[in-house]
Structure 1
Amino acid sequence: MTREKFIDFTKDHIIYLDGATGSNLVKAGMPSGVCPEQWILEHREVMLQLQKEYVQAGTNILYAPTFTANRVKLAEYHLEKNMSSMIHDLVAISKEAAASTPGHPVYVAGDITMTGEQLRPMGKMELEDLIAIYKEQILCLVDAGADLLVVETMMSLAETRAALIAAKEVCDLPVIATLTFEADGRTLFGTDAKTAAVVLESLGASAIGANCSTGPAQMEGIISDMVSVTMIPIIAKPNAGLPFLDENGTTCYNMEAEEFTEEMQVLVNAGATILGGCCGTTPEFIRQIHDRFGTETRVTAARRPEDIRYLTSERITHSFGLEDGFFVVGERINPTGKKALQAQLREGNFEKVIQFAEEQETCGAKVLDINMGMSGIDEKLCMLRALEEVSGVTNLPLSLDSSYVEVLEAALRNYPGRALVNSVSLETEKFEKLLPIVAKYGAMFILLPLSDAGLPKDIEEKKEIIHKIYDRALSLGMRKEDIVVDGLVATVGANPKAALETLETIRYCKSNGFATICGLSNISFAMPERGFVNTAFLTLAIQSGLTMAIANPSQEMLMSCALATDLLLNKEEAALRYIEYAGGVKERREEKEAELSRKLALLEQQGTKADSTDNTEVPSAVTASKDTPQINEMQEKLKTAVLKGNRNGIVKITNEALESGEKPVELLNQVLLPAINLVGEYFDQGKYFLPQLIASAEAMKNSIEVLEPLLQTGNSGEEMPVVVIATVEGDIHDIGKNLVALMLKNHGFHVIDLGKDVPQAKILETAKEHHAEFIALSALMTTTMQRMREIVAAAKQEGITAKIIIGGAVITQEYADEIGADGYSKDAADAVKLAKSLME
């Protein structure tokens, strides 16, 4: 199947997927702890019969049972060498089922999911290794005859991108993708539905959507959000409600086919046109939704407005149109003319990069430009490190800026959002090499109207260049909305008409439907009091239709005048933006004055004469709550390192604190523990997501490793309660378990981590051997949660007094109560609170 055929096949009517595989195989006798793919091959008729029933129920796209048939997952069963033959045999089962009902065309989708190994910086997996793993699986699926590919049950947008990139590079099959969202409407990694949809559509997915997690009604907002920012088909594959265990300990779901079908109406109304079922659904569910909605239902939900543009990070989307408010692309993360930043980058130090990112976001930038162009460094490696560091402290979308195509290509490949590329010109290398790369990765780009001959001689040549690049972009499958034209600002000191020529370009572009951008600094070069010239020019440019500018958002006069211009032009919500910014100006001034006073007071205490006119940059403060004891500057720096997840720099900061005379016990109790508690609060409030939580936890771990040898025995982890933690037998998922272990360690607990797929006997023996006060159990699958019940019962029978706490994606408080566990934690931060409350 080609992408074009898929578009035609799914156009304007409902398409039906299959329902659950795993829960139905368990009913058919598949035990926990086995390799699902191997069990299917050993019980071929069970799988064949199930899929034939789905086809008879009306399924149009059947998922081949290759969900975890990748090198990493199969290696857990020592079957990785059999991957190719297994995939061929598994696809053959689905192909046979697909052909079982003549006259009813059914396509087979090769099924792909997460490997369980996390990408850097959260884990140890390198992006290229992950792409290679997916390529191996995809090539086997293609060779086996899969008609299309499905990437499903994804929690990480970055890993979903890796799978799509792998598919692009080895085959031409259409790829559909679905992510799994939490109750707050975000994935476990913090991505919202709109962002996921924008990124995956721009990368070339043929259809996108959501699967698993919830019943149909709870998926409505996710589907609506995806519909509103895309033009491709949207997939809805919900569970049959919530799982529970019956009196026999069997996992069941709380929705029957009739109720499920009734609730699916809200997803069809929201705009979903590819329907199926996930955990707990059966062929009867598919039969009933097929009978209910038929094949002639036309899509009526509102889709993406044609004139809206989208830039994203991994976690948020910034949308804008030509009539929307002006915004700034922050320019400061650029070593040109910044000696201190250059020195840090040569040392591999990214503190100022992080500082500039945070400051520019605070001052109102909506996008951050990242440029690592300087001598004496590996620019590509520095760019990738900068993306990692900046993405850890801000959710703003990024503009990728380099003179070298290979640097931009590496950045686009690694960036887990939809970036702005700065820039593409008519210069041969950029036009012929860079533009196809931008199209491949689905980015937006700045069109710089230059050619190999240099600056255009007049406005007509500038227009000619713009349209040549635009035509080439269209031929590569891009749209006008993917282009931002640079007004090409010259110096008014050398060319008195420079401003007028740029304004004419901006007006021309807007009238022809192009977004525009410009850099402000050139206009005032060699003029006195350049800020006045820049600000005056910017207000004229906004009035002419300028969409955005690359500028320093900390310049209050420039930002205030820009927002005031929007206000006077009566742009939507301009008054609110101006009032909010004006109020922030006063707050920032007061904060700076207070910070300077505090710094001067510290210097005076140290007997140092300080000059109040010193222009040295003052480090940004971490605001303490009323109940938090006041901490000094060194302690504040350490606390900030935990809050910002500065894993690489915190060891140096900890050593500096010790060298300055700080006591290890005070650093632990007054700085590190309050900081990690605050991180937990931010996570609970939705301000932080899993990547930030892990980064902060690992930063704290690195600091504690420095302090631990210096702490007295009474304050070390050895005298704290012992926690034995494990993922139960048959379950090979450990993301959440690892994070719980890390957070407990950071709070002083002595954690014995037994890993994943751990037998009951080993858990209980370890608990007895180490006189554990807690046993922490994790399960991600409904098929393995029953092991928890067995462990609780066995522990009581053997007289083990350890408190048993449980958690995992399928676990609830009701289940904990039902099996007699001492507590349930919904996440890592909650596990710490629960353990402490049980100690009391």
Structure 2
Amino acid sequence: MSLKHTLLEIISKRPLIIDGAMGTQLQERADKIPDIAWEGLEGCNELLNVTCPEVMSDIFHAYLTAGADLITTNTFGSFSWVLDEYGIGHRSYELSRAGAAVCKTECDKFFTPEHPRFVLGSIGPGTKLPSLGHIHYDEMFTGYLECCLGLIDGGCDIFLLETCQDPLQIKAALHACEAANRERGTELPIMVSVTIELAGSMLIGTDAQTIATILEPFDIISLGFNCGTGPEQYGKHVRTLSEVWAKPISVHANAGLPQNRGGYSYYPMGPDEFAQLQCDFLNYDGVSFLGGCCGTTPQHIRALVDKVSSIAPKKPSGAMKPSIASLFNSVELIQQPAPLLIGERSNSTGSKAFRELIIASDYEGTLSVGQAQVRDGAHCLDVNVEFAGRDGAVDMAHVMRLYNQKIPLPLMPDATRVNTMEEGLKCIGGKPIINSVNLEDGEERLDAICSLAKKFGTALVCLVIDEKGMAKTTADKMRIADRIYDLCVNRHGIDPRNLMFDMLTFTVGSGDVEYRDAAIQTLEAIRQLHAKYLNVGSTLGLSNISFGLSMNARVFLNSVFLH
């Protein structure tokens, strides 16, 4: 049985308990840490994995004695761009591996078949937010990968991405965990825990509903909350998550809101009060992992174990309608009332104003085009920067970084070149929808784009075009849709709810007899699509139906066709 299934089996009977704070325990043992152990870098706690492992063992021993199931490694900042601040970025692998190894040694001492103990590899957010341009995805991914490899080699059982503040940081870390698993031939489950501040969102501005939308496509064992506040403040966020998240939920909160006493943080909540408030989270469907964060001690964990060990968590029951998201909010793909309105002015092919801004490399200026579409009521924004003679990947990265930060709507990266698409996705913290895939050039490009959609957790627009061209008849439209659906779902494992089919339409104003019934062919294809595939969505370049007619006539024809 895989570890993932073992964990799921345990939480069907009782909650799994995560240990408590590391920092407060180190402070309590400050007199046991010789000055030489800091190597002149006091504050770099990860160094102690190598220079003072006996103190680390003592802390783990205390939490294991208290009854914790999951023991977090002392590797919260054990990756290059954080360690670089101390001049030891090159020691990431060493410190990560040592951090997991010392934790594993203690867990093994307590492990029994009746009460197994697991090493939870702590992976923090670091000190830079990629959505604010502090660090590029590639650098963050590389640093996380080195840390993850060290954790695996040291004996880690589960990855924990904790105290997350930026969804784009989470994506880079998830990709590093997945890459490390592939490289080592392992299948360590991944837990994700975000920090919601008192303002009601993550530091970057993402709330509980939106982070659930963003992370729904990813293969993680749980999503939850830690740090930031005490358990009292997390109630409404846990309730929201329970309603929309279909997997287990974790909560390991602080021992109350921190207070400043003599320049030091003080956490006022005692073990019994903390245990009761944490226990209350078990009233919500899906809450299965409980523990402590800042200010909690082995006494807090002991009280929590005593309080909840005989309570069976409620099964997850959350459900989410197919949605996409920006950093700041979610948008359902099936709008009530319909339709989903896609803003298409941020497109160098269709907008002269946008194209001139791209040619001038006036990336800040492109924001005005996007913001105008927000004001006009668009639900999401198509962004296409590709233009002959320019490096689309460079332009896409510049524009998407700005749109990711400043535009409150979900984004639709639109590119013909795969590398341009990938660079755009590396800059988007939300859940975008890729525009688009088809079979015009066979399956190779579709496979490449589907791989990106799966990796980055996106929705996907699918055009009914194959090697022979754009499908004209209902039968051809459905034939190609069947083929694309099979490739996306069965070859690439994309959830059908994340597929939007564009059944395409041709103008009825060409005078060509072949296209006289183009509107009817498209409408029937849409009907058949939804009758056959109940979970997919559909979209359409509506105004193509009236191409070539006078502007006055187009308004009426478009309106009737939309109705």
**Fold shared, TM-score > 0.5 on shorter chain:** yes
Corresponding residue to 1:170 among 180, 193, 209: 180
SS at match of 1:509: helix
Does the aligned pair in 2 maintain the 1:204–1:442 contact within 8 Å? no
Corresponding residue to 1:136 among 146, 160, 185: 146
Aligned to 2:486: 471
SS at match of 2:130: coil
Structure-to-structure mapping, 1:348-497, within 5 angstroms: 348-350=361-363, 353-426=366-439, 427-456=442-471, 458-475=473-490, 476-493=492-509, 494=512, 495-497=515-517
Structure-to-structure mapping, 1:657-696, within 5 angstroms: none
Aligned to 1:263: 277
In structure 2, the CA distance between the partners of 1:9 and 1:383, relative to structure 1 (3 Å rule), is: farther
Higher relative contact order (CA 8 A, sep 6+): 2
Aligned to 2:524: 504
Does the aligned pair in 2 maintain the 1:485–1:517 contact within 8 Å? yes
Does the aligned pair in 1 maintain the 2:279–2:304 contact within 8 Å? no
Aligned to 2:36: none
Aligned to 1:49: 58
SS at match of 1:422: strand
Does the aligned pair in 2 maintain the 1:179–1:210 contact within 8 Å? yes
Structure-to-structure mapping, 1:291-330, within 5 angstroms: 291-294=306-309, 297-299=312-314, 302-305=317-320, 308-321=321-334, 324-330=337-343
Aligned to 1:115: 126
Does the aligned pair in 2 maintain the 1:345–1:377 contact within 8 Å? no
SS at match of 1:414: coil
SS at match of 2:144: helix
Does the aligned pair in 2 maintain the 1:120–1:127 contact within 8 Å? no
- The structural deviation recorded for 1:369 is 0.4
- The structural deviation recorded for 1:284 is 2.4
Gaps of 5+ in 2: 34-40, 182-186
The 2-side partners of 1:203 and 1:517 are apart by 24
In structure 2, the CA distance between the partners of 1:52 and 1:121, relative to structure 1 (3 Å rule), is: closer
The 2-side partners of 1:273 and 1:24 are apart by 25
In structure 2, the CA distance between the partners of 1:363 and 1:28, relative to structure 1 (3 Å rule), is: same
The 2-side partners of 1:37 and 1:384 are apart by 34
Q: Quick one: which amino acid aligns to residue 266 of structure 2?
A: C
Q: Which runs of 4+ in 1 moved over 4 A?
A: 1-13, 248-251
Aligned to 2:549: 527
Does the aligned pair in 2 maintain the 1:14–1:275 contact within 8 Å? yes
Q: Quick one: which amino acid aligns to residue 342 of structure 2?
A: V
Aligned to 1:342: 355
Q: Quick one: which amino acid aligns to residue 267 of structure 2?
A: Y
- Alpha-carbon deviations, 1:89-133, whole Å to 9, x = none? 22122112211222311121221112313437543x222111111
- The structural deviation recorded for 1:377 is 1.4
The number of aligned residues is 537
The 1-side partners of 2:108 and 2:555 are apart by 68
Does the aligned pair in 1 maintain the 2:227–2:253 contact within 8 Å? yes
- The structural deviation recorded for 1:302 is 4.1
SS at match of 1:111: strand
Q: Quick one: which amino acid aligns to residue 503 of structure 2?
A: G
- The structural deviation recorded for 1:386 is 1.5
In structure 2, the CA distance between the partners of 1:6 and 1:523, relative to structure 1 (3 Å rule), is: farther
- The structural deviation recorded for 1:236 is 0.6
The 1-side partners of 2:217 and 2:188 are apart by 16
Does the aligned pair in 2 maintain the 1:148–1:175 contact within 8 Å? yes
Q: Quick one: which amino acid aligns to residue 226 of structure 1?
A: L
In structure 2, the CA distance between the partners of 1:6 and 1:519, relative to structure 1 (3 Å rule), is: farther
The 2-side partners of 1:138 and 1:128 are apart by 15
- The yes-or-no answer on 1:182 pairing with 2:197 is yes
- The structural deviation recorded for 1:10 is 4.6
Gaps of 5+ in 1: 543-840
Aligned to 1:75: 84
- The structural deviation recorded for 1:219 is 0.5
SS at match of 1:527: coil
- Alpha-carbon deviations, 1:550-604, whole Å to 9, x = none? xxxxxxxxxxxxxxxxxxxxxxxxxxxxxxxxxxxxxxxxxxxxxxxxxxxxxxx
- The structural deviation recorded for 1:38 is 2.4
Aligned to 1:29: 30
Q: Quick one: which amino acid aligns to residue 342 of structure 1?
A: R
The 1-side partners of 2:422 and 2:61 are apart by 45
- The structural deviation recorded for 1:35 is 2.1
The 2-side partners of 1:464 and 1:56 are apart by 62
- The structural deviation recorded for 1:249 is 7.2
- The structural deviation recorded for 1:366 is 0.8
The 2-side partners of 1:42 and 1:371 are apart by 52
- The structural deviation recorded for 1:5 is 5.5
Q: Quick one: which amino acid aligns to residue 92 of structure 1?
A: A
The 2-side partners of 1:227 and 1:12 are apart by 19
The 1-side partners of 2:386 and 2:265 are apart by 57
Does the aligned pair in 1 maintain the 2:131–2:428 contact within 8 Å? no
- Alpha-carbon deviations, 1:466-487, whole Å to 9, x = none? 2222233223332221111112
SS at match of 2:75: coil
- Alpha-carbon deviations, 1:455-502, whole Å to 9, x = none? 235322322322222233223332221111112111112411111111
- The yes-or-no answer on 1:252 pairing with 2:266 is yes
In structure 2, the CA distance between the partners of 1:478 and 1:296, relative to structure 1 (3 Å rule), is: farther
- Alpha-carbon deviations, 1:132-151, whole Å to 9, x = none? 11111111112212112111
The 1-side partners of 2:555 and 2:180 are apart by 49
- Alpha-carbon deviations, 1:294-316, whole Å to 9, x = none? 265232564014xx111011121
The 2-side partners of 1:418 and 1:342 are apart by 25
- The structural deviation recorded for 1:243 is 2.6
- Alpha-carbon deviations, 1:626-685, whole Å to 9, x = none? xxxxxxxxxxxxxxxxxxxxxxxxxxxxxxxxxxxxxxxxxxxxxxxxxxxxxxxxxxxx
Does the aligned pair in 1 maintain the 2:131–2:429 contact within 8 Å? no
Structure-to-structure mapping, 1:708-787, within 5 angstroms: none
- The structural deviation recorded for 1:333 is 1.1
The 2-side partners of 1:26 and 1:485 are apart by 57
Q: Quick one: which amino acid aligns to residue 518 of structure 2?
A: A
In structure 2, the CA distance between the partners of 1:193 and 1:456, relative to structure 1 (3 Å rule), is: same
Which structure has the greater CA radius of gyration? 1
Does the aligned pair in 1 maintain the 2:327–2:429 contact within 8 Å? yes
Quote the sequence identity (%).
27
SS at match of 2:217: helix
Aligned to 1:791: none
Structure-to-structure mapping, 1:567-646, within 5 angstroms: none
- The yes-or-no answer on 1:517 pairing with 2:539 is yes
Higher mean alpha-carbon deviation, 320-329 vs 367-376, is at 320-329
Q: Quick one: which amino acid aligns to residue 108 of structure 1?
A: V
In structure 2, the CA distance between the partners of 1:369 and 1:6, relative to structure 1 (3 Å rule), is: farther
Corresponding residue to 2:222 among 202, 207, 212: 207
The 1-side partners of 2:90 and 2:315 are apart by 48
The 2-side partners of 1:9 and 1:216 are apart by 24
- Alpha-carbon deviations, 1:761-783, whole Å to 9, x = none? xxxxxxxxxxxxxxxxxxxxxxx
Does the aligned pair in 2 maintain the 1:219–1:267 contact within 8 Å? no
In structure 2, the CA distance between the partners of 1:251 and 1:359, relative to structure 1 (3 Å rule), is: closer
- The structural deviation recorded for 1:157 is 2.0
Does the aligned pair in 2 maintain the 1:22–1:279 contact within 8 Å? yes
Aligned to 1:274: 289
